[in-house]
Every structure is written in C-alpha cells, then in structure tokens.
Amino acid sequence: MTSCGCDSATPEVRLIPYEEALQALLDRAKPIRQQETVGLTEALGRVLAEDIRSSIDVPPAANSAMDGYAIRCADVRPDGETRLRVTQRIPAGEVGEPLEAGSAARIFTGAPIPPGADAVIMQEQVCRDGDWMRFSASVTPGQNIRAAGEDIRAGQTVIASGTRLRAQELGLAASVGRDRLQVCRRPRVGIFFTGDELVEPGQPLGDGQIYDSNRYTLNGLLQSLGCEIVDLGIVGDTLGQTLEALQKASARTDLVITSGGVSVGEEDHVRAALEQLGELDMWRIRIKPGKPLAFGFIGDTAFLGLPGNPVSVFAGFCLFVAPFIKQMTGMQPTRAEAFTVRAAFDWPRPDSRREFARARLIRAADGALAAELYPSQSSGVLMSTSWADGLVEIPENTSVTAGDPVRYYAFRDLLA
C-alpha cells in the first residue's frame, strides 16, 4: 500500500475524518436507561443490562463423562486383569452409595461419581460376567470424571453486562439456573423515506419512478439490531409532508432515521424541516460512499439523515448508525474490529477520501485469506451489497497493489 501524502481535493468545506465523525456521534448518543426483565427465550438478540454471576458450581458435582464403571484406582492390579464385584447401578439423576474397596458401580454419563470412586472405565474396555466385571486397561486417577465446577465456579461472572445475547449465552444463563434476564429496553426507531420518485414494491412502476428499496434494507438492519420500528414509509418531497413525518417519527422514539432529501437541492426538505423542529448539523465526512450525514435532535430524539442512495444507506448504517445504536444500548464493543487480509485486487487511484469498498473473502492459492472487490464500486450498485460479506477500508490518498495487507470489516461484526 502506498500513500501519496497529498490532499488533492483541498476542499473549501472541511471534510471530517471518519474517526472524528464517528467519535463525535458516539459522544452524543444518549444511553437508554430503561431496562426490562425478560424470559430466556425472549432474550435472544437483546443487550444484557446486568452481569450474570453464577451462584453454583457447574457441574454441581463430579460426574461420569462416559457410560461405564466407577472404580477405585487403589483396586487396580498394575499388571494383569482386575476383577471387581458390581455392587450398584447409578443412572443420571440418581445418587449412589459410597463405593467400597473391591467393588465397582455401573454408571452412566452425567451420573454423580459415588464417594470413594476416583476413575471411570468406559464400558467398551470391560467384560461383564454376572455380578462381576473385569478389565486389563490401564487406569489413571480422575479419568472420565468431570470435576465439580469444571465449567463454571460459584461466584464467577459468566456473561458481562453489555453483551448482545446469542443462543450460546441463553444456554449459558440457563446452565447457571437463570430463567429471566435484565436487558436494555429495545431502541425505538422512527423511519421514513423521502422522494417523489419512490413506489412501494408490488405496485406497477410509472415513468420516472423507482422502488423504495431503502425501506426494506433499513427495516432489516434495524430488526437485526433488536430495534422496535415505527415505519412511516414513503414521504413526498414537500416541506409540509417532511415536517409532519418528522413529528410523527420522533414521538416516543429514541432515534429517527431518514433516507434522501439531505442534499442542498431544492427538493431536499429534511434539512429545513429539522431546523424548524430541532437542531441539525450537516456533516461532510471524508469517506466514500456516504459523504453527507445529517445529525441532530428533535427534543430528546436523535436524528440521523442518510443520503438517499441505497448503497450509501447500507454503508452509512454499517459505519455510523449501527455503532450509534450499540452505544445507546450500552452494547460492547461499540465498534467492529477489522482484521487484516491480503488484497486480491489493485486499487491504482488514490482518493483524498477514505473508501469502504464492498468486498468478500476468498482463499489465495497458498491458503491465506484475501479480499476481492465487487467489480463496480459505484454507489448506485446495490447488487454489490448482496454480493459482499464486508467492507475493505482503503485509507486516504492510498493506492493498493494485489498482495498488500488491507483492513477488512465483516458485515457480521459491523451489524451484530
């Protein structure tokens, strides 16, 4: 990767570097303080608002890892065959008697080890003969025994506050006996989509019209972040309609997100409407795609205005909206981690703006992970967002040659 160190597009309006814009945004995110208690099955995808500490050892008692025989190692004859009388049978869910010298207990996976036993021989290594069992396999103390607390110790924190709960965490919480969890209230997000050219899918397309795709992209993205959505759909390009929509969308919501209408064109009314109802900053960010971003407040409700361009909506959500919502819910980490992979492309033309290119990972001939780019990085090509699995970050004023290391953000990390 080579940097030419210049800023070819010395702008009259200062473009804000990505990190600065993101940090400024995160600093202004108001945390959602309300919490609620939900049952485990409803907790999937929610952000945990307490530390989950175990009050028990897991497993609570030493138990058998195999179907077999619990024995005392002291009874094992080091050379030759050991023969023991089978004096008890312990299925999972029952508790055995202390194991006397010279005896064995038939035991099943998950059953508690009887006092005195210190190893389990798997049944495949044993010959059973009426009340007797014999084996010649060597035995080490503790073999095939799961120790009490092997997984979790009483007092241990098993899930930290701020964790977004996945299936694994639900199982983990259940394993320590929790049936209800304290989670952050879902963020409530009002959305609408400006543009006289927009038509709902399912309707015939007239001259000059396009389908409103942003509505569905944004609904999906917000749902996957666990938001409650107030969706007002398409809003025409007039100040009156925009004002009305903004008022409705900001009532009892934490955040309003819109697409379109934030440029300086005469058909762009979001800005004017917001200036009437609240406060607004127009940020011009030194990135591609998605340079303009409108940020403000209507009362306590935050406002994020994305450009109308569908690729910019998707990228803007990944780069700004998702971290903002995570910050509101107290989710950790707020920012996705990038990992370094090899470029499977050339990027010969440096740009003064940082580019986030739609990419996916492939295996290079030597097995290393490499990122290839969608052939068109035009911000009008929504196909690229479906083809890609993530974004490659190309720093300002930098060209890339195939084989160079590049930073790759997986959508999975950006959006979950």
Binding site for Mg ion (CB under 5 A): 195, 260-261, 308
Task: Assess 50 for contact with ligand AMP (CB under 6 A).
Answer: no
Partner that binds at residue 87, options Mg ion, ligand AMP, none, CB closer than 5 to 8 Å by kind: none
Angle subtended by helix axes 18-28 and 322-329, to nearest 10: 30
Residues 182-221, mask of contacts with ligand AMP (x by CB under 6 A) = -----------x-x-xx-----------x-xxxx------
Quote the least distance from Cβ 222 to Mg ion, whole Å: 21
Binding-site member from 290, 308, 316, 323 for ligand AMP (CB under 6 A): 308
Partner that binds at residue 212, options ligand AMP, Mg ion, none, CB closer than 5 to 8 Å by kind: ligand AMP
| 221 touches 322 (CB < 8 A) | yes
Nearer to ligand AMP, 307 or 323 (CB): 307
| 283 touches 304 (CB < 8 A) | no
The residue of the chain with the least Cβ separation from Mg ion equals: 260
Give 128's contacts (C-beta < 8 A, 6+ positions apart). 86
Structure tokens at 97: 């008697």
Taking the CB of residue 49, how many other CB atoms lie within 10 A of it?
Answer: 21
Going by C-alpha positions, the residue among 45, 67, 414 that lies closest to residue 225 is 45
| 402 touches 343 (CB < 8 A) | yes
Task: Assess 260 for contact with ligand AMP (CB under 6 A).
Answer: yes
Task: Assess 151 for contact with ligand AMP (CB under 6 A).
Answer: no
Kindly write down the DSSP assignment for every residue of 60-127, as one continuous string.
Answer: SS-EESSSEEEE-GGG--SSS-EEEEEEEEE-TT---PPPPTTEEEEE-TTPBPPTT--EEEEGGG-E
Q: Which stretch in 46-54, 148-156, 245-253, 305-313 sits in contact with ligand AMP by CB under 6 A?
A: 305-313
Q: How far apart (Å, rounded) are the C-alpha atoms in residues 34 and 44? A: 18
Nearer to ligand AMP, 140 or 376 (CB): 376
Q: How far apart (Å, rounded) are the C-alpha atoms in residues 51 and 22? A: 28
Quote the least distance from Cβ 246 to ligand AMP, whole Å: 15
Contacts to ligand AMP from residues 263-292, by CB under 6 A: 263
Nearer to ligand AMP, 190 or 308 (CB): 308
Q: Name the residues that contact ligand AMP, by CB under 6 A.
A: 193, 195, 197-198, 210, 212-215, 259-261, 263, 307-310
